[in-house]
Structure 1
Amino acid sequence: MKNLNESTKIELWTATALIIFVFIFSAIQAVNIHSTFPQPIPYEPNFWVNMLFRHIISATCYFLLALFVKPELQKKDTNPSNAIFFVYTLIQVCAFTNLIDHYLLILLSVKMIANYFSRELQNKKNWLHSDITVLFAITIFLQACSLLLNNPIIIRASFFFILPIAIANYAILVFAVIPNLIDKKYRLLKFSGYSFLTTILSFGILVLLFSIFDSIENTDILGPLMGINPAIQLFIVPIFAWNVYKSRNRKNIEEITSLKTELGKSDATLNFLKSQINPHFLFNALNTLYGTALQENAERTGEGIQKLGDMMRFMLQENVEDKISLSRDVEYLNNYIALQKLRTSTSSDITIETQIDEQLNDFQITPMLLIPFVENAFKHGISLKYPSHIKITLQTHENKLFFDVHNSTHPKPDNDPEKLKSGIGLQNVKQRLALLYPNSHELIIRENAKEFFVHLTLQLTNNH
């Protein structure tokens, strides 16, 4: 008792006082009930020994709940001891055999409820023990109330025999069966099959328990119990267990989905930057600007440098945002196309046609989502040796974006390092679309020996 905190000491002294009070109250009741007998039972030594033993058992169970079960449920990051189940089994056996007073059964159930609400909420390793705690507390509370209220024998028998089986069935379903079935094919069929088997098994357990602990009244109630048991074990418990598992893991699934989304966005952005902002692209842009400067005065060169600066500023500042205005993303797209046109403007065999509507709306879009398609078109659709063409259209109607890229294709030499990277950018953007716009986009990609076509429809959101 020296190592206990003050609140625990007060609780234990209070519980001890209550148990002593119940002992005195039970003794007085016994004296009053049997006062008419020639030799009152309270004066028999066995009566007092039995009563004292019952209350000592009750006190022992309470102390176990307070000094062992409670600290186990309050562990922060380790598994509680499975000896908790032994304590609950001990209490249930004592309740079966009438070794715990009905009033003290209620006290024990209240203590278990208190243990449940004082458990460590952040430790997911105590979920099994916490569930058993609250369900078992409700069970013994109902058992005690049914005895105190002298309910019909079938109700008392249901609480004493069927509910403990239901708790065990629930624990097995939630913590063993459903986690192993949730990601498998025909899971509902397998789950139903398991529930049917456990119902059959529960019949045998029910007969065994009834034959061992039938200390209520020697009446023929096994038949009605057999009728009630299937409804509980086959329907109520499986449905309850399934909903608890889904509800409890919904938050975990949402957290995992969110983490996958963030990881996918980071990975996609990193891969995109690696594929776009690399020496190959920068040297092409700089060479284009240098060639333009030789051909004319610095006006076009300055324009090209300005566009490149805008693009770099966009990538460094706005590309890290989750959503940006569609007008800013289109501006970046136009700058990219303008730079590429500078590179290809000297070739009469290259046709670049764009029809990109000016965006005066307040739509939001994930940054750098459209550019991979355009970059892919210039990378694989332009050849300085063969006639080439690219057509890009972008329109919005209501809250939908319609984006099309149509370009010629040319086989690359085997020694071209870009040949091995073909398709990486598109796979990347597919991944981002799946993560960021699930069920709100349509991507169609068609390809033949000479042409490549992309159509994207995207559901947009407003900036509110």
Structure 2
Amino acid sequence: MHILSETTPPTKAKNINQLEFWISTTLYILALISICSQTTYGSGHSYRFEDNDIDFSVIENFFLPELFKISIIYISFLLFNFCLMPQLTRKNNIALNVILSVIVTAISVVTWMVANTYSQAYRLVEMEDVNNVYGIFFGEAFTYIFFLYLLFNIYAYFNEQGLALINKIQFLKSYSKNIIPEIFITTRIWLISLMILMAVISAKSDNEILVFWLIAPPVNVIMAFISIYYIIPNLRKEMKGFGRYFWGNLAISILIIPFILLLLAGFMSGGNAVPLTLAFTLISLVCITTPAAWYIYKNKFEKQNEIQMLKTELGKSDANLNFLKSQINPHFLFNALNTLFGTALQENAERTGEGIQKLGDMMRFMLHENMQDKISLTREVEYLNNYIDLQKLRTSRTGDIKIDTAIEEQINNLKITPMLLIPFIENAFKHGISLQQPSYIKITLQTKENTLYFDVSNSIYIKADNDPEKLKSGIGLENVKQRLSLLYYGKHELIIRETAKEFFVHLTLQLD
């Protein structure tokens, strides 16, 4: 089964394109706001004009040039990303789209050059040869636009074909089904950040930040993926901790210095760009990427493994439960109970027959209604009454046991989680009844609108040392507390009070 398709699904591609459109449009609007703000409250490069005795117009020498520059970049990005490159990747009208790409680039270079002749007109005076200045303007505009638009096209191509290209790297699939889309998304984010950085850096700006961003993020991302999918899993198999991982990554970071220097070879003449990039890359590898990768693995993959183990164990439990259920034939049990019921009636054992009938009703409830998420409150109350009646049959021969019930008949359509109330009554009969000592149980249940009021109180007596119930710890009550907190969070109030002579439970429940 293929984890990823060879091409991006149309719906997903559409969503991606919409996201990129709104990001680029938002940045364009922010740039416009910045230009308008500087036009209103700033002075542009007016001091350079004044130093060279040139008249400065904030509209002609700042606002319009900057407006044309950012507008041509914005429009070109939309054309490359949404029109030209998608057509080229699908091999539709290749020649036409190549020609249009060249035309768009040429218009952008000319627009950028002309805009700079107005915004940087002071340079025409600072240099003696005017033609040489125009040549410099053209060279700066061509270099800047060429690399920026090259990045536009790389991103647009990667956006269309990147997922399919990464999916062809077979060894990646052996690590995790998530690694391919994660690499795709990470690369796209890095390319977007590069485009934004290139768009805000002018031709004469210091390029140290750009050089750093070209090298540091890819090296750190590669190190993070290697750590998360290879180094840490192998160390965890050997039961190694963070210390072993940290010092190992520190050694690897030092060993890749020659590789980083090789990447920086083309920037050796860039002043402080190389040493700063090298220093920040190593610092980020050791202080940011190494602990971040460990944190991501611990909080993502190890939790996934724990969840998978729990699912496996739960699956085994379900299988065992289903096996046990398969060993019980409900029809056989009901037929046997019906036979015993008929025999009891023939022998005039009415009390025995009544008990068998109620037991049958309870078993039918447990086999059917108990499997549902919600049942009618009427059925739950019927089950409670059957249980109480059976207990009364068991204790009816003892005059010192008093069982008072005031359970309101339910004719509403309220729903309740099955078997939610019975643990309280079971607990009362289990711990509140003594066949040797006077004891009592009082049960009340009523509803008002959507609210259920349920009270159970019972006597407490000291159990004999040989009583099997003496050491029981009330697991049923703890279980029902957990169910209430999960299923009726914020919709219930449970009060349990115990004195030397009485155990009391009050439950208020908001029902559907």
TM-score with structure 1 setting the length: 0.51
* Aligned pair partner of 1:404 in 455, 458, 481: 455
Q: Is 2:260 the partner of 1:214?
A: no
What's the CA shift for 1:415? 3.1
Q: Is 2:215 the partner of 1:161?
A: yes
CA distance in structure 1 between the partners assigned to 2:290 and 2:255 by the alignment: 16
Report the equivalent of 2:496.
Answer: 445
Correspondence list, 1:61-210, <5 A? 112-116=162-166, 125-128=176-179, 130-132=181-183, 134-136=185-187, 139=190, 153-154=207-208, 156-168=210-222, 170-171=224-225
In structure 2, the CA distance between the partners of 1:435 and 1:145, relative to structure 1 (3 Å rule), is closer
Contact 1:165–1:202 (Cα < 8 Å) also in 2: no
CA distance in structure 2 between the partners assigned to 1:439 and 1:269 by the alignment: 34
Spell out, residue by residue over 1:181-214, the C-alpha distance to the aligned partner (whole angstroms, 9 max, x if none).
Answer: xxxxxxxxxx9xxxx999x999989986664432
Report the equivalent of 1:429.
Answer: 480
CA distance in structure 2 between the partners assigned to 1:411 and 1:268 by the alignment: 37
What's the CA shift for 1:104? 11
Q: Residue type matched to 1:390 in 2? A: I
In structure 2, the CA distance between the partners of 1:213 and 1:315, relative to structure 1 (3 Å rule), is closer
CA distance in structure 1 between the partners assigned to 2:416 and 2:385 by the alignment: 16
Report the equivalent of 2:425.
Answer: 374
- Report how many residues are paired: 344
Report the equivalent of 2:414.
Answer: 363
Spell out, residue by residue over 1:8-34, the C-alpha distance to the aligned partner (whole angstroms, 9 max, x if none).
Answer: xxxxxx99x9xxx9xxxxxxxxxxxxx
Spell out, residue by residue over 1:271-304, the C-alpha distance to the aligned partner (whole angstroms, 9 max, x if none).
Answer: 9xxxxxxxxxxx9xx99x989x989xx4x66655
Q: Residue type matched to 1:405 in 2? A: V
Q: Is 2:375 the partner of 1:321?
A: no
Q: Is 2:396 the partner of 1:342?
A: no
TM-score with structure 2 setting the length: 0.47
Q: Residue type matched to 2:381 in 1? A: V
* Aligned pair partner of 1:416 in 455, 467, 478: 467
Q: Is 2:363 the partner of 1:312?
A: yes
* Aligned pair partner of 2:436 in 385, 389, 393: 385
Question: 3-state SS of the aligned residue for 2:219?
Answer: helix
What's the CA shift for 1:329? 0.5
CA distance in structure 1 between the partners assigned to 2:169 and 2:391 by the alignment: 63
CA distance in structure 2 between the partners assigned to 1:339 and 1:358 by the alignment: 19
CA distance in structure 2 between the partners assigned to 1:129 and 1:142 by the alignment: 20
Spell out, residue by residue over 1:390-434, the C-alpha distance to the aligned partner (whole angstroms, 9 max, x if none).
Answer: 111223455443322211123333333444556343344345445
Contact 1:403–1:456 (Cα < 8 Å) also in 2: yes
Correspondence list, 1:290-309, <5 A? 298=350, 303-309=354-360
CA distance in structure 2 between the partners assigned to 1:452 and 1:269 by the alignment: 37
CA distance in structure 2 between the partners assigned to 1:336 and 1:118 by the alignment: 65
In structure 2, the CA distance between the partners of 1:388 and 1:133, relative to structure 1 (3 Å rule), is same
Q: Residue type matched to 1:357 in 2? A: E
Contact 1:400–1:458 (Cα < 8 Å) also in 2: yes
CA distance in structure 2 between the partners assigned to 1:452 and 1:138 by the alignment: 63
Q: Residue type matched to 1:221 in 2? A: A
Structure 2 residue ranges without an equivalent (≥5): 1-5, 7-87, 96-149, 234-241, 325-336
Stretch moving more, 341-350 or 416-425: 416-425
Report the equivalent of 1:331.
Answer: 382
Q: Residue type matched to 1:342 in 2? A: L
Contact 1:401–1:458 (Cα < 8 Å) also in 2: yes
Stretch moving more, 349-358 or 245-254: 245-254
CA distance in structure 1 between the partners assigned to 2:323 and 2:506 by the alignment: 24
Q: Residue type matched to 2:273 in 1? A: I
Question: 3-state SS of the aligned residue for 1:393?
Answer: strand
Q: Residue type matched to 1:404 in 2? A: D
Contact 2:459–2:502 (Cα < 8 Å) also in 1: yes
Q: Residue type matched to 2:365 in 1? A: F
Q: Residue type matched to 1:114 in 2? A: A
What's the CA shift for 1:371? 1.0
In structure 2, the CA distance between the partners of 1:226 and 1:264, relative to structure 1 (3 Å rule), is same
Contact 1:161–1:206 (Cα < 8 Å) also in 2: no
In structure 2, the CA distance between the partners of 1:338 and 1:123, relative to structure 1 (3 Å rule), is farther
**Which structure would you say has the larger RCO, counting Cα contacts within 8 Å and 6 or more residues apart?**
1
CA distance in structure 1 between the partners assigned to 2:318 and 2:469 by the alignment: 24
